[in-house]
Amino acid sequence: MQDIKNFIGGKLQNPIDGSWLDNYNPAKGEVYSRIPASNSKDVEQAVEEAKNAFPVWSQFTIEQRSKTLHEIADKIEENLIAFAEAESLDNGKPLSLALAIDIPRAISNFRFYAQAITQFASKSHETVGTNSINFTLKKPLGIVGCISPWNLPLYLFSWKIAPALAAGNCVVAKPSEVTPMTAYLLSEICKETSLPEGVLNIVHGTGPDTGQAIVEHPQIKAISFTGGTKTGEMIARTAAPMFKKLSLELGGKNPNLIFADCDYDKMLQTTIKSSFANQGQICLCGSRIFVEESMYEQFKTDFVAEVKKLKVGPPSEASSNLGALVSKEHLEKVYKYIQDAPQQDATILCGGNKVEVEDHEQGYYLEPTVIEVKSNRCALNQQEIFGPVVTLMPFSSEKEALALANDVRYGLSATVWTNDLNRTMRLSNQLEAGIVWVNTWLNRDLRTPFGGVKDSGVGREGGFEALEFFTEPKNICIQY
């Protein structure tokens, strides 16, 4: 059985106290590796190493930093298949998805910030009339903490690490303990690049032990976190009184508004993806589908027919549209929502059952499930399920659609299907979401701000926003 190691001060090492956690292959429900159950001692060592490395890394020229990030991207690319296989094995997602989305996007994250940092300029302001000039430096913060979830493991881990490093910071990072493998592979390849020892430290372990130790460490100046809203609350409670910079990317319950004037075929195919890609475990999945009354019955029939064609199977098989859910605990959580549906006056239109996959009988498989609801106030529509479960509900007017979409504590993304330009503009303005997609979904340009409103988070990632987050502006005023 493989042991995953911490990456501290450029070395791969066992946890200081010798405690380990089991790491599961969700497709088979079997333990297949061990990960360090690190605690505050490991985090302390990582912080010391980061502190020693900071004077070196922050003085690297922009070109040197950029070159190092490109080297990391190149090394991941050289090992694309091994990374994708590891991601699929660790997470349960189809290998085809890891090959097409997760790992290429992790490569793009490093490449994007390798380039973005070369364009991230200081500003100056001439104060005419007082013979003064102001210039604003963008200083790296020092040591920053990056904490990521299990659903898009390397993709989201690198989305934080790449801008943090590009901006000249040293990093203490923790991937999810549920999916630690590709972060470990990343640490192995970093050893083969020009990244100086101690610049990137990866400490594995649970949220309450390792994560909490990162958040409460006084020398860690900022926390970039992606995960659940409840965890975000806990992190804010610890970090805010310490005046740390905080970027919180949290949960979602995204609406998908479908109007009768849309391009029907494109909408139907995309809605299948926005409902069930990655087993519905993407924070941007459109889990509440609202459909204009006049085409509701037709959509319901066609959508359910398409969903029934989706194949649940081993992640390694090319024919599998859905793989396994990430853990037994998560499977049971999602399944409970389905079991409780009848008590909420909701009707299961298709799916709803666990799936026993041949030769993978202990794996965590669930049918893609479509549930018709009568009210947006039910738990199925108000709570984040984060699995292959979507709800359907008709609406009779644009006003009602907007009210339903906004009637939730979350505000991450929203999708609108319509060919009416004025409606597009009205809804885009009024939807309470950080990201609105019109006639598309998961269409990403890395230069754009990424993040949510309401209980979906605070701050924005992406583009220069992340570089702003990972730097502190210092204004200097000179009179001549």
Query: What is the contact surface with ligand NAD in residues (CB under 6 A)?
Result: 147-151, 156, 174, 176-177, 206-208, 211-212, 215, 226-228, 231, 234-235, 249-252, 283, 384, 386, 412, 452, 456-457
Alpha-carbon distance of 407 to 338, in angstroms, equals 21
The alpha helices in 216-340, defined as continuous H runs, are 229-239, 264-276, 293-309, 328-339
Minimum CB separation from ligand NAD for residue 145, in Å? 9
The alpha helices in 285-412, defined as continuous H runs, are 293-309, 328-339, 379-382, 398-406
* CA distances in angstroms from 334 to 56, 323, 365, 389, 412, listed in the order given: 47, 15, 11, 8, 20
Please say if 249 is a catalytic residue: yes
Minimum CB separation from ligand NAD for residue 334, in Å? 12
* 3-state class percentages of the chain: helix first, strand second, coil last, to nearest 5: 40, 25, 35
* DSSP state letters, 17-73: T--EEEEEETTTTEEEEEEE---HHHHHHHHHHHHHHHHHHTTS-HHHHHHHHHHHH
Q: By beta-carbon distance, which residue lies closest to ligand NAD?
A: 207
Please say if 262 is a catalytic residue: no
Nearest to 366 by CA among 345, 389, 343: 389
Residue 417: in which H helix or E strand, if any? Answer: strand 413-417
Radius of gyration of the chain (CA): 23
Minimum CB separation from ligand NAD for residue 247, in Å? 10
Nearest to 182 by CA among 275, 106, 288: 106
Alpha-carbon distance of 92 to 322, in angstroms, equals 9
Alpha-carbon distance of 170 to 75, in angstroms, equals 20
Q: Which of 85, 249, 461, 465 is catalytic?
A: 249
- Antiparallel, parallel or unpaired: β 30-36 and 2-3: parallel
- Return the number of the residue (151 or 471) whose C-beta is nearest ligand NAD: 151
Measured on CA atoms in the order 399, 403, 405, 410, is the torsion positive or negative?
positive
Minimum CB separation from ligand NAD for residue 319, in Å? 27
Nearest to 392 by CA among 336, 351, 427: 351
- Return the number of the residue (138 or 174) whose C-beta is nearest ligand NAD: 174
Q: Give the start-end residues of each E strand in 148-281.
A: 170-174, 200-202, 220-226, 245-249, 255-258
- Return the number of the residue (26 or 394) whose C-beta is nearest ligand NAD: 26
Instruction: Count the Cβ atoms, other than its own, within 10 Å of residue 173.
Output: 26
Q: Which of 146, 190, 262, 283 is catalytic?
A: 283
Secondary structure (H, E, C), 71-91: HHHHHHHHCHHHHHHHHHHHH
**Residue 409 DSSP symbol:** S
Active site residues: 249, 283
